[in-house]
């Protein structure tokens, strides 16, 4: 919605306003304004459209997730580096059903920008392994599967890893 720097400027303006409220003796107004400024700071670090896209993905609503992601016009200027990584991660998930070449580019860019959670990185590497396997690049797929297995400390992706390894034997 707002550029990442505009969010910080709005938060700073609200904090200044809250200081004036504290000086005037309106303590509750000041506290409320500090909390409001905190929301803008939160949205600086966690983009609201990416959060809404993740919520749609949890419901298996790919069209809704694509809609929310389409509101981000220029990811490189509107998002922090890690958010841009998640933007590319989500875009890769969206297009992986239709265009594997485009999905591969999105997943590689997401990994280069970085993802916060290990299991998200493991998921991206597992997706790339599946793409590499479909393109008959067995060595690359094997290394990506092993990297994903190391990152998946809670064994959330264990079934998918086993399935990909079984499919690898057929190639």
21 and 99 housed in the same domain: no
Identify the segments of the chain with pLDDT beneath 50. Answer: none
| Domain boundaries, position 35 | 1-45
What is the pLDDT at residue 13? Answer: 96
155 and 86 housed in the same domain: yes
Name the residue among 156, 90, 155, 93 with its Cα closest to residue 130. 93
What is the pLDDT at residue 79? Answer: 83
- Helices 100-113 & 118-134 angle (0-180, nearest 10): 150
What is the pLDDT at residue 2? Answer: 60
pTM: 0.80
80 and 38 housed in the same domain: no
Domain boundary among 30, 45, 60: 45
What is the pLDDT at residue 1? Answer: 52
Count up the domains in the chain and report the number: 2
What is the pLDDT at residue 76? Answer: 82
Residue 156 near residue 119 (C-beta atoms within 8 A): yes
52 and 31 housed in the same domain: no
What is the pLDDT at residue 156? Answer: 81
């Amino acid at each position: 919605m707002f550029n990442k720097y505009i969010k910080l400027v709005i938060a700073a303006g609200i904090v200044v306003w809250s200081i004036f409220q504290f000086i005037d003796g309106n303590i509750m107004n000041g506290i409320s304004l500090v909390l409001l400024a905190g929301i803008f700071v939160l949205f600086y670090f966690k983009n609201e459209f990416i959060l809404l896209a993740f919520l749609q993905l949890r419901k298996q609503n790919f069209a809704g997730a694509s809609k929310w992601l389409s509101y981000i016009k220029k990811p490189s200027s509107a998002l922090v580096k890690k958010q841009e990584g998640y933007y590319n991660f989500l875009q890769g998930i969206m297009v992986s059903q239709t265009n594997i070449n485009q999905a591969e580019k999105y997943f590689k860019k997401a990994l280069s920008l970085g993802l916060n959670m290990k299991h998200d990185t493991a998921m991206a590497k597992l997706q790339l392994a599946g793409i590499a396997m479909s393109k008959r690049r067995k060595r690359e797929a094997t290394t990506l599967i092993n990297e994903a297995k190391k990152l998946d400390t809670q064994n959330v992706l264990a079934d998918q890893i086993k399935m990909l390894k079984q499919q690898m034997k057929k190639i």
